[in-house]
Structure 1
Amino acid sequence: MVMRDLNIGTKVGLALLNDRWYALVLSNLTDQPADFMLLRRRVRGLGTLKLLTVLAKMNQLGLVTEREHYRYQLTTTGLELQRSLQELEAWGNRAITAMH
């Protein structure tokens, strides 16, 4: 079977990870609630409004949940995507090493 186009799930996943802000927020959250301002300091260069927008979209996708007083944490689905991102990073590191 010849694949002529990516399926919609792949497109959504790649679009999310291709945006550096989503990937950085995903990398800087855990399953424990993190304060908004702490997250804001961790992800340098990301403005407050953009961070709120990213978190709202990630919440809509079921990747993060908001706790009391602007505290955010990854959901089970978010943790799964975070692990996939870490595996992709590890693969990329191996590929770079193999090229040298």
Structure 2
Amino acid sequence: MDAAQVDPQSAARPSDACRTRVVLDIVGDKWSLLVVRNLRDGPRRFTELKRAIDGISQRMLTVTLRSLERDGILTRTVYDVMPPHVSYELTEMGITLREATAPLLEWSVAHLARIDDARAAYDARTDPPMTS
């Protein structure tokens, strides 16, 4: 079994549950997968990523890039030139994350209109809200 494959029984051990959730936070984060997706064709500069990811603030992009670097998903390379040049690139682990999540992103794009329709229909209902 290679490093990218997971034995479902070992992944389900209670002792690993909290650690697995921490790793899955990368996938559930609002911006991380968009950064990973935008690095699919190779290294990019901060400004290129900022332009490519609609709605992300400079601060949030910085926080997301630092988090992904800390988790080993991407590398940050600083070039000793003037003006300073920094680029970001997926690591081997980042590439496997991109490959694993590409179908999820494709599904999201394919179903955006249906989700919008479902939300509009739900919001238009006159049913009282559910209470617990």
Bucket of the pairwise TM-score, normalised by the shorter protein = 0.7 to 0.9
Query: Corresponding residue for 1:20?
Result: 30
State the structure with more CA Rg. 2
Gaps of 5+ in 2: 1-8, 80-84, 112-132
Report % sequence identity. 29
1:47–1:7 Cα change, 3 Å: same
CA displacement at 1:89 relative to structure 2: 4.3
State the TM-score, normalized to the length of structure 2: 0.60
- The amino acid of 2:97's aligned partner reads L
Extract unaligned runs of 5+ from structure 1: none
* 1:73 CA drift (Å): 0.6
The structural deviation recorded for 1:9 is 4.0
> Which is richer in helix?
1
Counterpart pick for 1:55 among 55, 62, 65: 65
Following the alignment from structure 2 to structure 1, what is the Cα–Cα distance between the partners of residues 57 and 21?
26
1:3-25 per-residue CA deviation (whole Å, 9 max, x = no partner) reads 69672343123211111201111
Question: Structure 1 residue runs of 4+, over 2 Å off?
Answer: 3-6, 87-90
Q: Which residue of 1 aligns with 2:115?
A: none
> What's 1:86 paired with?
102
Instruction: Tell me how far 1:86 sits from its aligned partner.
Output: 1.4
1:59-100 Cα offsets, whole Å, 9 max, x none, are 00000101232210100000011111014446x57xx7xxxx
Matched length: 92
Other-structure match for 1:76: 92
Q: Do 1:63 and 1:75's aligned partners in 2 also have CA atoms closer than 8 Å? A: yes
Q: What CA RMSD, in Å, does the superposition of the two structures yield over aligned residues?
A: 2.4
- Asked if 2 retains the 8 angstrom alpha-carbon contact of 1:31 and 1:79, the reply is no
Residue 33 of structure 1 corresponds to which residue in structure 2?
A: 43
